[in-house]
Amino acid sequence: MREPFVVAEGLRKTFRSRERAVIALDDVSFSLARGETLGLVGPSGSGKSTLARALMRLVEPDGGSIRIDGEDWLGLSGKALRRRRGAIQMVFQDPLAAFNPRATIGGALDDPLRIHGMADRGERPRRIAELLERVGLPSGFAQRAVHEVSGGQRQRVAIARALATRPALIVLDEAVSALDVSVRGRILELLADLQKSDGIAFVFVSHDLAVVRVIAHRVAVMDAGRIVETGNTPDVIANPQSATGRALVAAVPTLNLG
Amino acid sequence: MTEPLATLRGVSVSYAREGGRAFALREVDLAIAKGERLAIIGESGSGKSTLALALAGLLPPEAAVSGQIDWPGFAEGPRAGRDIGMVFQDPGSSLNPVLTIGELVSEGAVRHLRLGRAEARQRALDLLARVRIPQPEAALDAYPHQFSGGQRQRIAIACAIAASPKVLIADEATSALDMIVQAEITALLDMLVREDGMSLIFITHDIALAAKLADSIAVFRDAMLVEAGPARQVLGRPVQDYTRSLIATHIDFSSPRLIGEPA
């Protein structure tokens, strides 16, 4: 049998300051198939963002391994790492903080195309227009400044930027949490559509299990740096096995329509 | 007929902008009953936080206010801090980082209830126990940064109710917290309001949270009141399309999933 697309095993990370040590990842293992979404849920400080950053290699784990497409992802460095980085992209919670505020949208999308050698200078305007179209924005947006557009539109630009390098995996860290509800639904639909058409795998970090249920095939529940429970999302919600899983299920308010 | 707490008539709030005025609230008419729990719901830019500041009399000096807010129960109008307690979204920035928890929580009691030092400390201790801060005695001499986000919000709530206000305004008080802590803080607000007979004005973007806590709901959009009424009526038989769309876009465990099985 072929190994899953992403296999993480025994990941450990401790953050130390003068006074104390915080164990952010404590023997974390999971796998992810191509075209699959894994939800990461848990309370604040449970380690989900550290895990997302470890996948991106923005945080170096103290131990454990990550294999992507059979390759030792944590063993890559220098040129080899840079060459592969485009395969994994990230979308953050606050799209305003995720862009150079003075950049135009076209400039923000030009960067990954140039840096990762995705398209020649002459070709790039057309690719930028295509990327904008894919995320449901008019191509004329390329001339606008990032700070001029709404929060939902900005998050679409962040998704377009992630798509620029034709990634196989996108890590979404609370990517819809700061959006208005009317916008949130449409961004989730966009993500589901992109996954269907391109077979992109997602790691979807959220504290909201109801949102995770809509978008994620499987879910891993984290608490205090550990994955305390994992399974198909509907199964975990119907029958949570861990105390944290039960608390997360109970915390979702039901809209009682009287 | 229930007694009114506050009546708003044609309330507008605007700010000077290049070439005109930008309205943060436009011609709002709203009646708030004494002892009720009113949820103000709306998306970004709807005017819901402006309404909270207008009620508390905390609008910045450059805001132009027109219309009328009547408070029949308060001869000279309510005072923020004494008659109206406020809880904001981010307790990290609403709690003064250089004061101890004891100083922060007793400040309202010292200023508005004229308590002495020892009494104020005892009052702070009682309040911290009420908002379920573990080891309240030790917490008195600690600083805000030593607490988690959820505990800081509990401390901010203790500050808000220190002078026994008649009205508690919670402006997105649970939005920055994770879902588990959010549920705990919501339950705490519910208990405090019930026990003290306070009126609660609960401002949120989350319609399900509003449904859980409120007797009445007022929906705001683009600086205007869209519709208001008893929670059951607004949620069960909404009159406006916008309210219907807010209900339709809400995500809970009954929402349709967007995914099939992975290829």
- Regarding whether B219 and B115 lie in a shared domain, the answer is no
- The residue written with tokens 């740096």 in the block is A225
- Regarding whether B16 and B140 lie in a shared domain, the answer is no
**Confidence category of residue B262, pLDDT binned at 50, 70, 90:** low
Of the residues B165, B183, B202, the one at which a domain ends:
B165
Is the CA virtual torsion A113, A118, A121, A125 positive or negative? negative
Of the residues B165, B193, B224, the one at which a domain ends:
B165
Query: DSSP letters of B142-205?
Result: S-GGGS-HHHHHHHHHHHHTTT--SEEEEESTTTTS-HHHHHHHHHHHHHHHHHHT-EEEEEES
CATH number, residue B40:
3.40.50.300
| ipTM of predicted complex | 0.88
- Regarding whether B122 and B70 lie in a shared domain, the answer is no
Range of the domain at B74: 1-52+62-78+174-256
- Note whether A252 contacts B: Cβ–Cβ < 8 A: yes
Query: DSSP letters of A78-100?
Result: HHHHHHHHTTEEEE-S-TTTTS-
Task: Summarize the confidence of residues B61-72 as an average pLDDT.
Answer: 96
Q: What is the pTM of this model?
A: 0.91
Cβ–Cβ below 8 Å for B259 and A210: no
Cβ–Cβ below 8 Å for B255 and A214: yes
Tell me which residue of B68, B69, B70, B66 sits closest to B21, measured CA to CA.
B66
- Regarding whether B70 and B8 lie in a shared domain, the answer is yes
The alpha-carbon gap from B134 to the nearest alpha carbon of chain A, in Å, equals 19
- The residue written with tokens 């808000």 in the block is B160
Tell me which residue of B65, B249, B79 sits closest to B164, measured CA to CA.
B79
- Regarding whether B6 and B24 lie in a shared domain, the answer is yes
**What are the pLDDT digits (tens) for A38-92?**
999 999 999 999 999 999 999 999 999 999 999 999 999 999 999 999 999 999 9
**pLDDT on residue A258:** 61
Instruction: Judge whether B244 lies within some domain.
Output: yes
Task: Summarize the confidence of residues A238-257 as an average pLDDT.
Answer: 93
Cβ contact B45:B221 at 8 Å:
no
Q: Which residues of B touch A252 (CB under 8 A)?
A: 179, 252-253
Search chain B and give the residue with CA nearest A250: B180
**pLDDT on residue A1:** 62
Q: What is the tally of structural domains in chain B?
A: 2
The alpha-carbon gap from A89 to the nearest alpha carbon of chain B, in Å, equals 20
- State which H helix or E strand residue A66 sits in: strand A63-68
Of the residues B165, B200, B217, the one at which a domain ends:
B165
**What are the pLDDT digits (tens) for B74-111?**
988 899 999 999 999 988 888 999 999 999 999 988 88
**Token representation of residue B244:** 């219907």
C-alpha to C-alpha distance for B68 and B70, rounded to whole angstroms: 6
Instruction: Judge whether B205 lies within some domain.
Output: yes
- Regarding whether B46 and B120 lie in a shared domain, the answer is no
Instruction: Judge whether B57 lies within some domain.
Output: no
In three-state secondary structure terms, B99 is: coil
Search chain B and give the residue with CA nearest A202: B262
In three-state secondary structure terms, B140 is: coil
* Strands A201-206 vs A169-173: parallel, antiparallel or unpaired: parallel
- Regarding whether B74 and B115 lie in a shared domain, the answer is no
- Phi, psi for A67 (deg, rounded to 5): -110, 130
Cα B140 to chain centroid distance, Å, stands at 25
Instruction: Judge whether B261 lies within some domain.
Output: no
Tell me which residue of A239, A196, A187, A256 sits closest to B254, measured CA to CA.
A256
- Regarding whether B187 and B68 lie in a shared domain, the answer is yes
- Regarding whether B17 and B69 lie in a shared domain, the answer is yes
Task: Summarize the confidence of residues B146-171 as an average pLDDT.
Answer: 95
